[in-house]
A = this chain, B = another copy of it.
Amino acid sequence: MAEYPPAMRELIEALRLLPSVGPRGAERLALFLLQQPEALSERLARAVYDARKKITRCPECGNFAEDGGLCSICQDPSRDRTVWCVVEQANDILQLEKAGTFRGLYHVLGGRLSPLDGIGPEQLNIDKLFKRVEEQGPSEIILALGADVEGETTAHYLAPKLKELGVKVSQPARGLSAAGGLAYTDSVTLGYALDGRSEL
């Protein structure tokens, strides 16, 4: 039986390593790339290679940075260095930056505590957080972690230890979405929203 040439088979196999790309999807992507101008493949290959080579983690907070330097936020002299926001992943930072209300620094844990998956405090960027707190003494830390079991577990692990270090610890409000009516929320969220009601 005839087969694709070796370079095509290798391309299909490499594309299959991407998340949610199956054998048919990988073949479709490969055929697309072969039918496009060579410049597109060159640009994609270069971007994939360069990103992995150049992008490093900020040695201070764990955010994305380039070539081993501090991230753009840690470098920014206009940021408030007394309020920090602890997040699970570096991409959470972009979400928070889009909201535009937080002007402090960040700390990326790189995940959340999940004993069932073998993820304990040692697997996360937690020691560095405590060390940073001791050295720099921020006044408040916001634990902006997921509102699920693992996120809550992580917050409950961190909060008392951070308080011991003399830091005020808070978490973002839980409640209704900005554009969401009661019909579009779940009962747990609605419970939070009622508990945290504010007077008009």
Contacts and interface: CB of A to CB of B under 8 A. Distances in A.
Interface of A: 1-8, 10-11, 13-15, 17-19, 27-34, 36, 38, 40-55, 64-66, 71-73, 76, 89, 91, 93-94, 97-98, 100
B10 A47 contact: yes
Most interface-central of A14, A28, A42 (chain B CB within 10 A): A14
A5 B73 CA distance: 11
Contacts of A50: 7, 10-11
A63 B172 CA distance: 58
A5 B45 contact: no
A65 B5 contact: yes
Q: From DSSP, what is the main secondary structure of chain A's interface residues?
A: helix
Can you tell how many copies of this chain the complex includes?
2
Contact of A48 (B44, B52, B53): B44
**Which 7 A-B pairs rank lowest in CB-CB distance, beginning with the nearest?**
A41-B52, A14-B47, A45-B49, A11-B51, A7-B54, A45-B45, A45-B48
A51 B7 contact: yes
A17 B45 contact: no
Contacts of A33: 48, 51-52
Contact of A19 (B11, B32, B34, B42): B32
Contacts of A6: 66
Contact of A97 (B1, B31, B55, B100): B1
Contacts of A11: 47-48, 50-51
Nearest to A52: B41
Contact of A1 (B36, B41, B54, B100): B100
Contact of A72 (B2, B28, B93): B2
Nearest to A1: B97
